[in-house]
Amino acid sequence: MEFSADQIAGILNGEIQGDAEITVNDLAKIEEGKKGTLSFLSNPKYEEFIYTTGASICIVNKSFEPNKPLPEGLTLIKVDDAYSCFAKLLELYGNLYKKEPGIEKQTQIDPSASIGTNVHIGSFTYVAKNTSIGANVVIYPNCYIGENVTIAEGTKIYPGVTIYHDCKVGSNCIIHSGTVIGSDGFGFAPNEEGKFQKIPQIGNVVLEDDVELGSNVSIDRATMGSTFIRKGVKIDNLCQIAHNVEVDEDSAMAAQVGIAGSTKIGKHVLIGGQAGISGHIKVADETKIVAQSGIPSSIKKAQTLMGSPGIPLDDFKRSYFGFRKLPGLLKKMQELEEKIEALTKV
């Protein structure tokens, strides 16, 4: 589908500098732009690329003034905030692939399930007994929706997602491929013979509204009660959330984070990739945890932590600076030991 600069400027309330009739049919990063694509520039770090880009249209901030000649044929659309305007266009572009309501063939839905209006369910998806699916939900092919599951309106579930029985998914959530919600928590107790005996996991998982889960995320059901992912939480690919964990509102974590059982993560917490958080602890609101850090105990006030075990960021930097000097210090120590030994022999 093609859009002209004039149409795009109308959507964004922008000012055109160049050919208002030029059209684009694709999006591209500014350094990879080619004829027929739309790009944007918001970070001055990338300004050099606007003088060589092959894109036909580029969205820029109103404050942008070129200090070199622009490529021939490049049309600018000037807006208040280029980044947010481009994000708006990305959202519109994504809607071009919106699924039409309907139940595809070879889908099995139990008669007791409740299906709302304008729902799309893809082929080879199984919807079990007493499940409730709200209006405008999209479920792609090859998904499993277990018994007594509730999925609220506007949620999108990509192919290959598994949602176990009794779990609840809020409205306007996005769940990416391969994610498993409600698998058993890691609950075992050694018996008299020293063998592990499984502890039944009879709770569930509750995702509140506006949660997004990346691909291959695993969220365990609670032993009793619920594992909670609160409103607005964003979880990247390949994260593991154990049983009875609670991640509070508007927190976010990058890929490969692991959170052990019964830990409580506060509001607006940011966790970098591959961080590990021990069980049965609390992490204060607004805390930031740097990638690959390990958190073994509760964090009582907001701070930025790094390392394993995690310590305040400035302390870690000072410690690391000292650590880097260790080889030189060890060499000097060895030299001093040799001198002392030589002196004692005199």
Active site amino acids: 243
Tokens of 305: 């932590």
CA-to-CA dists, residue 278 to 25, 123, 133, 234, angstroms: 49, 40, 35, 20
CA 81 centroid distance within chain: 23
The DSSP letter of residue 48 is: G
- Give the Cα separation of 280 and 282 in Å (integer): 7
Name which of 60, 72, 76, 67 is nearest 17 in CA terms. Answer: 76
Enumerate residues 6+ apart whose C-beta is below 8 A from 18: 5, 57, 74, 75, 76
Cα angle, residue 186 at apex, residues 288 and 192 outer, rounded to 5°: 135
Cis peptide before 309 (omega within 30 of 0): yes
Name which of 253, 259, 252, 302 is nearest 273 in CA terms. Answer: 253
What is the side-by-side order of every strand in the sheet holding 114-115? 114-115, 132-133, 150-151, 168-169, 204-207, 226-229, 246-247, 264-265, 282-283
- Give the Cα separation of 260 and 296 in Å (integer): 10
CA-to-CA dists, residue 208 to 169, 170, 232, 233, 259, angstroms: 6, 5, 8, 9, 19
Torsion of CA 328, 329, 331, 333, to 10 degrees: 170
The DSSP letter of residue 136 is: T
Number of neighbours of residue 272 by Cβ within 10 angstroms = 18
End-to-end C-alpha distance for the chain, whole angstroms: 91
Q: Tell me, what amino acid is at 145?
A: I
